[in-house]
Structure 1
Amino acid sequence: MRVVFAGTPEFAVASLLAALRSAEVVAVYTQPDRPAGRGRQLAASPVKQVAMARGIPVFQPESFKSAQARAQLRAFQPDLMIVVAYGLILSQSVLDIPRYGCWNVHASLLPRWRGAAPIQRAIEAGDTQTGICLMQMDKGLDTGPVILSQAIAIESDDTGGSLHDRLAEKGAEVLEDGLRLLRAGIRPLPRAQAEQGVTYAHKLEKAEARLDWNEPSERLARKVRAFNPWPVSEAMVAGERLRIHAATSLPLTHNQPSGKVLAASKAGVDIACSEGALRLLRVQREGGRPMSSADYLNAQPALRKA
């Protein structure tokens, strides 16, 4: 079975490795190299790095709008195209090229959280469950029928990073199951997504990371978890801007203004919110490294007296 794989970030790597175990990957498509790091040097995507290390031809078109780009894809005579966090919307003319069309590994239980940031949005919303859908792609945004799916629980301490890693591995498992069936001559019957329950996981923006103490502490704690490791929540604490890497909600009652430091100890720094308090557990000062709140207080002894 001849497979073309299209993906870009670290999330897609586990699925690429699954495809390599289950089929002949004849080509890999990924986004063009982008500036990265402090030096803003061009860097290859994680998917490109894995493909090159295994000697798989890599292609990086800006789009498939040109007849030349589509002809190049057609020349591989793919039975299937697997798309995982590729970063391009594919037109019907592209979806029709592979014999079995295009499959997408999506990190949510569709139709909930279609779009760019389903992992973080699920945590932010307080969902207790998410999962993986293997979807037969159509020209809509994550609207295609689902071939296979598998649910997983969102743990109370899951961050965007930890849930990302678990879903990446689960996505590879579900993809491998689908490829195994296809290789055996069994085409799973795709089922249409429900018309109810559609939500969109809009792309993360850095501005969202700024915490507003006028919100309930539970909501802020979910944001801290969702936005770790990117873009990382930040807030003003006693006149200083801090990045907040870990925090927990305290369901206590107080009569203090939002944003006031209620207590500061080795256990953490408690900040008044509109409802409850947010206990900061791991913070980062401007220009510094992440540290425990206890270490932060060693440099800010006046807060203990707040």
Structure 2
Amino acid sequence: MRVVFAGTPEFAACALRDLHEAGFEIPLVLTQPDRPAGRGMQLQASAVKQYALAHGMEVAQPLSLRMDSKDPQRAIEARAAHERLLALDYDVMVVAAYGLILPRATLDIAPCINIHGSLLPRWRGAAPIHRAIEAGDRETGVTIMGMEEGLDTGPMMLIERVAIEDADTTGSLHDKLAALGGRMIVEALRSMEQGALGAVPQPEAGVTYAAKISKEEAKLDFSLPAEVLWRRVRAFNPFPGAHGLAGGVTVKIWNAGLTTGSGAPGQVLSAEGQQGIVVACGEGALRLTELQKPGGKRLPAAEFLKSFPLAGLSFS
């Protein structure tokens, strides 16, 4: 099969790697334009582009695929991408966290299959891994689905479940689902080659939407129950990083656990280091175990306290 691949971050790069190593012919890779990143804000290629170029694949980076865009440059690039796709005579497009909307004109060229990091119809949308942890879900998974114009509304082809452990962050769960998605898309295309890839409509019940994560959400409100904040700390690790103000300084909180304790919300109840930093919440208390001050490194609580004493302070 000739497979056009569309994706951008590491989640997608895992699938591209597995398809390539499985021997599928990949005549074109679509990915987002290079973006400024890092402290120097230098342009950086996506993880998908880096893999594709390292393995001799053709890469296209249109700003849009919508030929009816009101932005002339976007419309020109979309038209060029569309003409390139028409000339390829490919069998299927595989999409994983691409970041651009596929218009009807693209969907009509060849079947489009998406790798989605949730158990659809739960958590349609941009941030399914973050939202599953934040909501306290006990399991998630990967759905291989057919694409249509609606937001993650297409029929389901394959689905596998993964338990969400108490120690999971978005980072660790992402890695599990990325590996699973790569394996599943190879399995799906093998079945498709044999004419054995079925599809069932998504159920109408249980639809939820995973809105894109904003940096503003990562500010912790210690008047909320400790369990809510614990889930948010895990959900926002590694991006955008949960944080609170201590002594007027923004402190990022990378890892935490639940514990007992009472006091005014945000009050530091204990700052013994080896046992973590205990902070009172609206209900219960949070034990902070890994923190970071501005310009510093992520540190275990004991190391953090050596340069940033918290005794007598409160988080707000």
Q: What band does the TM-score fall into relative to the shorter chain?
A: over 0.9
Quote the Cα distance in structure 2 between the aligned partners of 1:238 and 1:269.
15
Aligned to 1:193: 202
Q: Specify every segment of 5 or more residues in structure 2 that has no aligned partner in the other structure, as ranges.
A: 68-78
- Cα distance between partner residues in 1 of 2:201 and 2:106: 21
User: In structure 2, what is the Cα distance between the partners aligned to 1:302 and 1:228?
Assistant: 22
- SS of equivalent residue, structure 1 residue 222: helix
Instruction: List per-residue Cα deviations over 1:110-134 (Å, max 9, x = no partner).
Output: 0000000000110000001000000
Partner residue in 2 for 1:175: 185
Residue ranges of structure 1 left out of the alignment (5+ in a row): none
Instruction: Report the counterpart of residue 241 of structure 1 in structure 2.
Output: 250
Equivalent pairs: percent with the same residue?
Answer: 49
Q: Given that residues 65 and 101 in structure 2 are in contact (C-alpha distance below 8 angstroms), is that contact kept between their aligned partners in structure 1?
A: no
Specify the code of the residue in structure 2 equivalent to 1:80.
Answer: V
The aligned residue for residue 8 of structure 2 is 8
Q: 1:189 offset after TM fit, Å?
A: 1.6
Q: Which residue of 2 aligns with 1:74?
A: 86
Aligned counterpart, 1:284: 292
Partners in 2 of 1:104 and 1:141 — Cα distance? 11
Q: Which moved more, 1:114-123 or 1:234-243?
A: 234-243
Structure 1's 108 and 304: CA in aligned 2 closer, same or farther, altered over 3 A?
Answer: same
Please give the alpha-carbon distance, in whole angstroms, between the structure 2 residues aligned to 1:55 and 1:170.
25
Deviation at 1:258, TM superposition (A): 0.6
Give 3-state SS (helix, strand or coil) of 1:286's partner.
Answer: coil
What amino acid is aligned across from residue 204 of structure 2 in structure 1? E
Pairwise CA distance, 1:102: 0.2
Q: CA deviation at 1:253?
A: 4.9
Aligned to 2:125: 115
Q: Which runs of 4+ in 1 moved over 6 A?
A: none
In 2, Cα distance between equivalents of 1:48 and 1:240: 38
Please tell me whether the aligned partners of residues 268 and 312 of structure 2 are also in contact (alpha carbons under 8 angstroms): no
Root-mean-square deviation over aligned CA pairs: 1.5
CA shift digits 1:150-176 (9 cap, x unpaired): 001011100010000000000011111
Structure 1 segment 1-306 matched on structure 2, within 5 A: 1-20=1-20, 21-66=22-67, 67-98=79-110, 101-183=111-193, 185-250=194-259, 252-254=260-262, 256-265=263-272, 266-301=274-309, 303=311
- The alpha carbon displacement at 1:300 in A equals 4.1
Q: What letter is aligned with 1:174?
A: M
Whole-Å Cα distance in 1 between the matches of residues 60 and 309 of structure 2?
A: 55
Inter-partner Cα distance in structure 1 for 2:42 and 2:300: 32
Cα contact 1:22–1:179 (8 A) shared by 2: no
Deviations 1:74-127 (A, max 9, x none): 1111100000000011112111101xx100000000000000000011000000
**Match for 1:104: what amino acid?**
N
| Paired positions, count | 301
Q: Which digits, 9 at most, give the CA deviation of each residue in 1:196-249, with x for residues without a partner?
A: 110011111111110000000001011011111110000023543210011111
Q: 1:305 to 1:286 in 2, by over 3 A?
A: closer
Distance 1:68 1:210 in 2: 43
Distance 1:240 1:305 in 2: 11
Q: CA deviation at 1:186?
A: 2.1
| CA distance in structure 2 between the aligned counterparts of 1:51 and 1:258, rounded to whole angstroms | 50
Matched to 2:116, the amino acid is H
Separation of aligned partners in 2, 1:278 and 1:123: 17
- Name the CA distance, whole Å, in 1 between partners of 2:43 and 2:309: 43
CA contact (8 A) 1:237 1:261 kept: no
- Deviation digits for residues 23-62 of structure 1, max 9, x if unmatched? 1111100011111111111111110010001111000111
Contact 1:5 1:27 in 2 (8 A): yes
Aligned AA for 2:286? L
Q: Partner amino acid for 1:4?
A: V
The one-letter code matched in structure 1 to 2:93 is M
Partner Cα separation in structure 1 for residue 186 and residue 86 of structure 2: 24
